[in-house]
Chain A
């Protein structure tokens, strides 16, 4: 592999608390040195990062790649290209493929396919129960050996609390993390929008915030009971944030993420039935969004993910309730985090931790920082570059974004994965 010298850039490495003008030296797929070139270093390529910011490659805690099973929506090729175009070098994908990621063979194949593309690293979340049916436990040891970093249930219901308890007990036995999105499936049944003013006005079947807090209370109690390391996915409500905050205060081993959609949007964005705003969990009220942002500031929420869910156009060109839920967005994660940081006056070092070191830590992977010896996964972006999101220009096969037409500031110039340049603009 060739040696790369990234010079004159502003290096921001949240895990090492560095925000300074420092050069980065890459050799043999790894970070060789920061600041001064190691002895005898000869650069095969020099990237002049003057005016640019150099950060660890982003770690996206939730990006659906749609393989296997939903190749008409997206393929690994299209979505990995989108990921590196967005500076994302590691991503965790939920197990809701078809078939679900409940067999080691499927996980190995996915990992192998991803490796052969040589772009972003893929860390699958294994299915917690067989077929995501909520009945029988999967072979977690085998799945872990195949490459699963955590076990979860995606958006599939897990209503039987005894199964949930046992899944947590079993995962805790071997120190596996459990990732769950809290939603009571009875209260959420048929719902497509937050139970608030907008759903009432538009006549949309609603999902109350209590659907989140009831499920969340249950999983927090069971996590306490079993000692499992719990990660709460895609929190959406003010009351939910408060429950996680209280659990953390009690020193429960719990972490939490929020999707960038919920950091920026609310139920009001549904407007006149914009199906791109049909998301799971639903976009909630302004008050909920303010609470999510407060949760990010005080550390209750550890990470911001894209919740990338490419959907084919046919599945979105339907009346709101019938349209498939989800938004594409892995390539919008960085600019939307930058936008949030600017709006809420969050220092870049803290803001970028939410998409680098923090998600890496809750995934239990070694990426997300630029210490000497670390994998050379780097994102170099221009913080001044202003651009407008155009859905049609997205690399992802899914063009379904609620942010179409938004003015962004900050654009990825280079993405380096394991010492090779995977993307350049």
Chain B
């Protein structure tokens, strides 16, 4: 089976998942992102012409403000033409199939698709379908992957911790439904983090999750002990239905990140969250806004990382 993300020269053709990408490619994306950090900071004109004349289509079959906006900003800083489509409220409700929508946009000479969809594998389906000169970036597919989020988290970790090989990282919360967690896990293990932990009640852990190369903890206190990085996940409100959790209060009491629990981690541990946060559900405000929080820098880094991915895909 060919790796659908690489072309025959081993270069990045699509970004669909952090799984299956070799470490040198992940590092190259992070290095490129570091170069782009300068574009926004301390420059009069926040633009480089690398994607000048290219058309980037943000096709979002699922609502998102933050991710779509950061992709839009990233593409514009690369001087691309950006078209945003919220398909959730247009074509599919008229009965048009996913691939028909894509074909129509291809006919408008799209160069790159940024896709978000509620079904796992949607980005793979599109990548398999489009002509070879078109690139697909997965901006989140079901529970499967959200690779640019995973990469921006790696950028954040490298920014604060410099290295990966000496870290202990804990991912906390709804692992079962989280595409972010899966992308983080694959990126962390590929980049050589020796100890990746997941912390959650059994109802929020997928079966055989240990086969992804993580250690499983149900106990928050034991899981957080001596970690360098705490990555919190968003808990969707609908998890209270379907008998996954009794209440958000009980979840917060046991798995919510408070100052007391954070004190179990290393004193210089950083706290991350992919947003949007539910304060008082998975994270206490004092932690979210505290000295160890790097949640807002994550957002800033996200733009540089997305610029890096887009420019590398375009071969620019």
Chain A residues in the interface with B (C-beta under 8 A): 195-197, 199-206, 208, 271-273, 314, 317-322
Nearest 7 CB-CB pairings of A with B: A203-B143, A273-B121, A319-B119, A203-B144, A200-B206, A319-B122, A203-B120
A321→B120 contact, CB < 8 A: yes
CB distance from B159 to the nearest CB of A (A): 28
Given contacts A318-B98, A319-B141, A319-B142, contact A200 B208 (CB under 8 A): yes
What is the distance, in angstroms, from A271's C-beta to the closest C-beta of chain B? 5
Complex contacts, B120 vs chain A, CB 8 Å: 202-204, 273, 319-321
* Docked pose: A318 CA to B98 CA in angstroms: 7
**Alpha-carbon distance between A184 and B141 when the two chains are bound, in angstroms:** 28
B211 in complex: contacting residue of A197, A317, A318, CB < 8 Å:
A197
- Of A203, A208, A320, which is within 8 A of B207 by CB? A208
B119 touches A196 (CB 8 A): no
Interface: B145 (CB within 8 A): yes
A197 to B97, alpha carbons, bound, how many Å? Answer: 30
Query: What's the Cα separation between A322 and B182 when bound, in Å?
Result: 21
Query: With an 8 A cutoff between CB atoms, is B291 at the interface?
Result: no
A-B pairs with CB below 8 Å: how many? Answer: 73
**Residue of chain A at shortest CB distance from B123:** A319
The interface centre, meaning the residue of B128, B129, B208 with most chain A CB atoms within 10 A of its CB, is B208
Complex Cα–Cα for A318 and B97 (A): 8
- Other-chain contact of A273, B99, B125, B179, B212 (Cβ < 8 Å): B125
Q: Does B117 contact A (CB under 8 A)?
A: yes
Q: A195-B207, A204-B120 are in contact. Are A321 and B142 (CB under 8 A)?
A: yes
In the complex, which of the residues A203, A208, A272 contacts B182, with contact meaning CB atoms closer than 8 Å?
A203
Contacts of B139-166 to chain A: CB distance below 8 A:
141-145
Contacts of A271 in B (CB 8 A): 1
**Which residues of B sit under 8 angstroms from A204, Cβ to Cβ?**
120-121, 142-144
CB B300 to nearest CB in A, in angstroms, measures 28
Known pairs A272-B1, A314-B97, A318-B97; A200 contacts B121 (CB<8 A): no
Q: A202-B144, A314-B97 are in contact. List 16 more A-B contacts (CB 8 A).
A: A195-B207, A196-B207, A199-B207, A200-B209, A201-B212, A202-B120, A203-B141, A203-B142, A204-B144, A273-B124, A317-B97, A317-B125, A319-B98, A319-B117, A321-B121, A322-B119
Can you report 26 A-B residue pairs in the complex whose CB atoms are below 8 A from each other? A196-B207, A197-B211, A199-B207, A200-B206, A200-B207, A200-B209, A200-B211, A201-B212, A203-B179, A203-B182, A204-B142, A271-B1, A272-B121, A272-B124, A273-B120, A273-B124, A317-B97, A317-B125, A317-B129, A318-B119, A319-B98, A319-B117, A319-B122, A319-B125, A319-B142, A321-B142
